[in-house]
Amino acid sequence: MAEEAGKKEPRKLVPKKYPMPEQDPKERVHNFKEVPLGQDAQTIILEAKRCLQCKQAPGREICMNGCPVEIEIPRFIKAVQDGDFAQAIKILREKQNLPAVCGRVCPYEVQCEGKCIVGKKNEPVGIGRIERFLADWERNEQKHGHVETVKPTGKKVAVVGAGPAGLTVAGDMAKLGHKVSMFEALHSPGGVLVYGIPEFRLPKVIVQAEVDYIKKMGVDLKTDYVIGKLDTVDDLLKEYDAVFVATGAGLPNWTNLPGENLNGIMSANEFLTRTNLMKSYSFPDYDTPNRIGERVVTIGGGNVAMDCARTALRLGAKESVILYRRSEAELPARREEVHHAHQEGVRFELLSAPVKFNGDECGNVKSLEAIRMQLGEPDASGRRRPVKVEGSNFTLDCQTVLIAIGQSPNPLVPMTTPDLKLTKEGTIAVDSEGRTSKKGVFAGGDIASGAATVILAMGDGKRAAKAMHKYLTSDPSWPAPEVFEKVACEK
Amino acid sequence: MYEIVKAEKLNPDVTRLEIKAPHIAKRAKAGQFVMITVDEHGERVPLTMADISPAKGTVTIVAQEVGKTTRQMGKLKTGDKVFSLVGPLGLPTELHKYGTIVCIGGGIGLALMYPVVKALKEAGNTTVNIIGARNEKLLIYEDEIKSVSDEFYLCTDDGSKGHKGFVSDILKKLIADGRKIDMVYAVGPIIMMKVIANITRPYGIKTIVSVNPIMVDGTGMCGSCRIIVKGETKFGCVDGPEFDGHDVDFENLTARNKRYLAEEQISLRRFMGGN
């Protein structure tokens, strides 16, 4: 421990993270290969040695307190310090079913690394990159060799949706000996990890490997299977002891401004699904096309907007513009994503909001009209509210417009499960353990919490799996309907 | 992978595929569609089911060879497998007893029209059916539709069989004759559905059309299939594929369905062995 280190040579703290090599921005805007290139074992051990091995104590928050899936971070970092990667990944996997994914897309800066004690005066320990290294090491060196088999409980669980929340529940429940069947609507498992997050942030072979690992644990996966259209949740309950619904936030939000249905204007979901799931970047080797204009304008300022703007460059846009109604400080995207977008030459038209879209005689978008904004008083979200600057309208020529202003919950399961209590936003009302108003049915991820992040969805999955296990093995009681009425009203 | 239990040509350009999918056949209803992906590099194509057999555990789709994917489907043989098949998607046809309904189909739409007419007839309606194609050779599902017709009309653009002219001519005549029509159902080329909707609009005859916009996922996730209905944006995949023909913005639908024409040509040329 640092405090006890008096007898030894005083440790010299390396103030910054060991640099992560990245593909040169000029080069990477022409390919879909991953941006960070990864680090070698030596560097990772040095990075791990920056960790002070802080202990949790009342009133003191350390890395672990910031982790939605409660990974025992100091323990696995200790193993890395000792050079024992096999032990480290084992510890990681106790709580984490998708380490290679989270090691890439987690917002560590506000989670584990945000709480890191080293980070108070220096750069925090690069926990995310250590996690990434271990997962990659395991995939390359161990070929996912260590799947421990457990005694079956005889209970059957259905998981609806093979995205981050669903995969987490499937993995956790399988680990506990329950028989798990997953149902995925698309032809490929992974949910947002395959249709949404671009290849250059999360290579799809990595997602596939994580899914394969979960399948190796005995989880049965049915793709092309749309619950709500084929079996309903009620049908599933006849065959399974419990159901976890994690169907995501699959419904794109629109601006509802004039001209939005012109050709060349699409939702971020459509643009990214064409690119990532359908691999339109390899058109015509893959059949699905994706047309890209010389100037592409992305409306929105979140991670999805950054993904769109950066993807547009890779697909050949001469200029990629982000149109966002607040200022840079309020961009909801992760800093790293904004930084990468800047590096790659994405232009930011901040404090600007669209007014309408103009088309040519063939029905293609040719420009958009926008208006400048200024920041007023803080709104309910605590961010300063953007206010129109009257008379400041301007026109931006563009051939492609991507609408990245959020998603709403996928209505398919709620529509076909009438006794599932919903919130005003259309999300499924759940209690703190992921239980829904329907006995035996749990929900988590974006369908329960609204559009959020991969790791929060996984955190939901963790909690739900714990509660589901309790429900199946020791305590079959269920909260009274009033609990969910209350949740539905409060949200 | 999903096995094709029967592949057959209905005419040189139209292929019928009966595909093993018991889980879909068990749930599917007339008017719904499936998304089919021929191989791992394929696009997801929405096709309305022409037949659903829960007993055999199969669904049947009919594809007209237009672009790369439909030509690829034309080469599939009995016993071949397709990479992905998702369904049943979209809302089924609303089955009520309307009274007398006129069902109108054109071209490839005839395959989709058959299960709908059958279901509407089973629901107790009197069915007056009008079918059309460019020429006799392109007529499909003639006998099947005839078998569920109380009254049957056939036309070809070139007069090679039946009435020489368009399906809309017959509809106009029925209206002019003062026939009582409680509902019109139209499925076929966009231009045909638009013409039909324009004919019935002044008479206030309820007119349902089945649209086929470009889709990607087919489950309401992406909005590629959005269509303007009564000034509002709807999704063809989850709100449709059937809409009130008097409310559909056909101009926008036509323009939207052309948005990848250039790329479709590239794919097709490559598939046909060009560059």
Name A481's Cβ contacts closer than 8 Å, sequence gap at least 6: A421, A437
In this complex, the residue of A226, A284, A363 whose CB is nearest that of residue B86 is A226
- Delimit the CATH 3.50.50.60 region(s) of chain A: 156-250+409-490, 252-407
Q: Which residue has the tokens 């050079």?
A: A83
Residue-wise pLDDT tens for chain B (275 aa)? 999 999 999 998 999 999 999 999 999 999 999 999 999 999 999 998 999 999 999 999 999 999 999 999 999 999 999 999 999 999 999 999 999 999 999 999 999 999 999 999 999 999 999 999 999 999 999 999 999 999 999 999 999 999 999 999 999 999 999 999 999 999 999 999 999 999 999 999 999 999 999 999 999 999 999 999 999 999 999 999 999 999 999 999 999 999 999 999 999 999 988 64
Closest by Cα among A171, A168, A160, A169 to A218 = A171
| Of A269-278, A406-415, A433-442, B217-226, minimum mean pLDDT range | A406-415
Q: A11-142 sits in which CATH class?
A: mainly alpha
Tokens, residue A457 = 């969805």
A83-93 mean pLDDT: 93
Rounded CA-CA distance A336/A28 in Å is 16
What's the whole-number mean pLDDT along residues A6-11?
Answer: 55
Q: Which residue has the higher pLDDT, B247 or A139?
A: B247
Q: Which residues of A touch B221 (CB under 8 A)?
A: 195, 250-252, 269, 273, 410
- Chain A residues whose beta carbon lies within 8 Å of the beta carbon of residue B228: 261
pLDDT score of A11: 66
pLDDT at position B116: 95
In B, minimum Cα distance to A231 occurs at: B27
Comparing A149 with B269, the larger pLDDT belongs to B269
Say if CB A133 and CB A44 are below 8 A apart.
yes
Q: What mean pLDDT, rounded, does chain A reach?
A: 92
* Tokens describing residue A219: 């989880």
B176: which residues sit within 8 A by CB, 6+ positions away? none
Chain B interface includes A224 (CB < 8 A): yes
Give tens-digit pLDDT for A279-289: 999 999 999 99
Q: Residue A5 — pLDDT band, cuts 50, 70, 90?
A: very low
Say what the pLDDT of residue A125 is: 96
ipTM: 0.94
Interface test with A, best of B70, B222, B254 (most A CBs within 10 A): B222
Residue B17 and residue B15: Cα distance in Å, rounded?
Answer: 6
Q: Which CATH number fits domain A156-250+409-490: 1.10.10.10, 1.10.10.410, 3.60.9.10, 3.50.50.60?
A: 3.50.50.60
Q: Would you give the DSSP letter of residue B106?
A: E
Closest-CA distance, A426 to chain B, in angstroms, reads 15
Tell me what percent of chain B is helix, strand and coil, each rounded to the nearest 5.
30, 35, 40
- Looking at chain A, which residue has its C-alpha nearest residue B217? A186
Q: Answer yes or no: is pLDDT of A9 > 70.
A: no
pLDDT in tens, A91-123: 998 888 889 998 998 888 889 999 999 999 999
| Interface contacts A/B by beta carbons within 8 Å | 121
Integer Cα distance of B208 and A156 in angstroms:
44
- Give CA separation, B210 vs B126, B148, B194, B242, in Å: 20, 19, 11, 4
pLDDT in tens, A424-478: 888 999 999 999 999 999 999 999 988 788 888 988 998 999 999 999 999 999 9
Q: What is the pLDDT of residues A318-339, one digit of tens each?
A: 999 999 999 999 999 999 899 9
pLDDT grade, residue A144 (50/70/90)? low
CATH domain A252-407 topology: FAD/NAD(P)-binding domain (3.50.50)
* Total H helices, total E strands in chain A: 18, 16
DSSP letters for A71-118: --HHHHHHHHHTT-HHHHHHHHHHH-S-HHHHHHHS-GGGTHHHH-SG
Going through A184-262 in order, the beta strands assigned E by DSSP cover 220-222, 242-245, 251-252
Residues from chain A that touch B41, judged by Cβ atoms under 8 A, are 279, 285-287
